[in-house]
Amino acid sequence: MGWKSPTGGSGTGWSNIPNAYDEELSTYALGPATSEPVYDSPVELTVSPLLCDRVRFYVYWFPTLPFIKVEVYYEGGYHEIYIGTYIDKTWIEKDVIPGSSGQAKVISKMRLSFMHYMIVDSAKVYEAYFNAVMPRLMKYYKSRRAG
Partner 1 sequence: MLAKIQYNQIHHYVRQVMDAEGDVSNKDILQIDVTFPEFPHLPTYGVVVDYPFTVESVKAAVGIVAVQAKEQMTKDVIVKEQLKDSLEFDVEV
Residue closer to partner 1 by CB (options 118, 134) is 118
Residues between 37 and 76 that touch partner 1 (CB under 8 A): 62-65, 67-70
Residue closer to partner 1 by CB (options 3, 67) is 67
User: Is residue 90 a contact residue for partner 1 (CB under 8 A)?
Assistant: yes
59 CB-side CA count, 13 A: 29
Residue closer to partner 1 by CB (options 65, 106) is 65
Min CB(71)–partner 1 separation in Å: 8
CB atoms closer than 10 angstroms to residue 18: 12
User: Is residue 94 a contact residue for partner 1 (CB under 8 A)?
Assistant: yes
Q: Residue 115 to residues 23, 103, 136, 146: CA-CA distances in angstroms?
A: 25, 28, 38, 49
Q: Residue 23 to residues 3, 33, 145: CA-CA distances in angstroms?
A: 11, 24, 34
Contact pick of 118, 120, 134, 138 for partner 1 (by CB under 8 A): 118
> How far is Cα 77 from Cα 75, in angstroms, rounded to an integer?
6
Q: How far is CA 126 from the centre of its chain?
A: 11
Residue closer to partner 1 by CB (options 17, 128) is 128
Closest CA to 47 of 3, 7, 96, 106: 7
User: Is residue 35 a contact residue for partner 1 (CB under 8 A)?
Assistant: no
Chain residues binding partner 1 by CB under 8 A are 62-65, 67-70, 79-88, 90, 94-95, 97-101, 118-119
